[in-house]
A and B are shown apart, each in its own frame.
Chain A
Amino acid sequence: MSDDKKKKLKLKVSAIKEGTVIDHIPAQNLFKVISILGLDKIEHQITFGTNLESERLGSKAIIKVTDKFFEDDEINKIALIAPHAKLNIIRDYEVVEKKVVEIPKEIIGIVKCFNPKCITNNETITTRFKVVDSSPIALRCSYCEKHTVGEQIKMV
């Protein structure tokens, strides 16, 4: 088997001409990433693969979005659930830029406050948190002021 053929076989999700490849997403969070980025609501061609082998994550997912280039603010929203995600920016089938995600200073509308007595869990309110620590991630609710930490972090 030629090297090229091996490479093609390894590539389980087809290449794109222009757009963005988001790699190293934990497989169990693929659909959350799709939802947070609003990919279920756009008309671009999207291909994705999941439960792919990954040395680092055990099982990873990958998303390829044709003709879509994300702003940093937009893509950093996934940092909480895909902290090791890597972005490849593709122009004419070539990777022209690589990016990693960064945890933003503020998290708006993604995470649920863990405090059941918080107003955000009792009325329809967009949640808002300040990131006060990064490992483990600690979020301070802008409403009830309680900290939601590590394992307590659940998506809205």
Chain B
Amino acid sequence: MKRDLISITDYSKEEYLKIMDLAAEFEANPNQDLLQGKVVASLFFEPSTRTRLSFETAISRLGARIIGIADPGSSSTSKGETLHDTIKMVSNYADLIVMRHPLEGAARYAAEVSHVPVINAGDGANQHPTQTLLDMYSIVKTQGTLDNLNIFMVGDLKYGRTVHSLLMAMSEFENPIFNFIAPPELQMPKEYKMFLREKGIRFFEHREFTDIISEADIIYMTRVQKERFSDPIEYEQVKNVYILRNAMLEKTKPNVKILHPLPRVNEIHTDVDKNQKAYYFEQARNGVFTREAIISHIMNLK
């Protein structure tokens, strides 16, 4: 039976750990012709250059050929073809589909229509599981473990799908602590807080971005997006409250790393970039190894 990766919860803890091990293997030896002779379809129904390049690099390093859509304006979709028909057709050509789509649930639906495996590269505000796995790989690489970590999440915790998925995945590990720092308008939704309570996981909510980060092992920054606010004045008030500056890192733990799914705007000051605690560019690099791991796992090659 084919296995897809649509939501982060499609994988068990054992599979998370397997992907972590495989990613380390690919980091040590990135070019492996495991997919030689295979064709992978890269379908980006909404532009996302960063994610697309990361996937296409991973596919290339595995030795497969890529067909696909990079610009939705030029695809058959713009002529009115349904997602159903596009996926039906492409699954007759390719051995694997990597798909990004602006509508939520599009990836799950594509997986039902396709007879080849589908990897979700983001479906609207819903899921982006390969991002979560690369976040986890960055955590395990820098902390040596996924257990007993104090994880701070900062910024837009209401709409940020990356923080939601990371919360779900990290909750599978031993004794995590979560600290949420967000303006009142962008707090962690209650269904996630209920989920943590039911699992007996400790979490704390803060409005101020202060010295409390001295307890952190991981600081996960997100962008506060202007379009989330109905009142532009409100946005102006909060947008500069959640900026991480180098001086704020003085009292933090030596092992702390700063993650960000990128692109950033102004929420991490450029003076942080030189600090060895800044990890967001390496995090993006880890994405290629993690995606090589995911693809080879889904294709039963490893």
A-side residues, CB < 8 A to B, are 113, 115, 117-120, 122-125, 141-147
Contacts and interface: CB of A to CB of B under 8 A. Distances in A.
B: contact size bracket: 10 to 19
Interface of B: 7, 82-84, 101-106, 108-109, 123-127, 191
A118 B126 CA distance: 9
Contacts of A117: 102-104, 124-125
Contacts, number: 50
Q: Which residue, of A118, A119, A141, A143, has the highest number of chain B Cβ atoms within 10 A?
A: A119
Contacts of B124: 117, 144
Given A117-B124, A125-B109, A144 B104 contact: yes
Contacts of A141: 105
A145 B104 contact: yes
B282 to A, nearest CB: 30
Given A141-B105, A144-B103, A147-B191, 11 more contacts: A115-B104, A117-B124, A118-B105, A119-B83, A119-B104, A119-B123, A122-B103, A143-B105, A144-B104, A144-B105, A144-B126
The dominant DSSP class at the A interface is loop
Nearest to B104: A144
Given A118-B104, A144-B105, A123 B82 contact: yes
A141 B103 CA distance: 13
Nearest to B108: A143
Contacts of A123: 82-84, 109
Given A144-B124, A144-B126, A145-B7, A120 B191 contact: no
Nearest to A140: B191
Contacts of B7: 145
A141 B109 CA distance: 12
24 contacts: A113-B105, A115-B104, A117-B102, A117-B103, A118-B104, A119-B101, A119-B103, A119-B105, A119-B106, A119-B108, A120-B105, A120-B109, A122-B103, A123-B82, A123-B83, A123-B109, A141-B105, A143-B104, A143-B105, A143-B106, A144-B103, A145-B7, A145-B126, A147-B191
B125 A119 contact: no
Contacts of B83: 119, 123
A110 B5 CA distance: 27
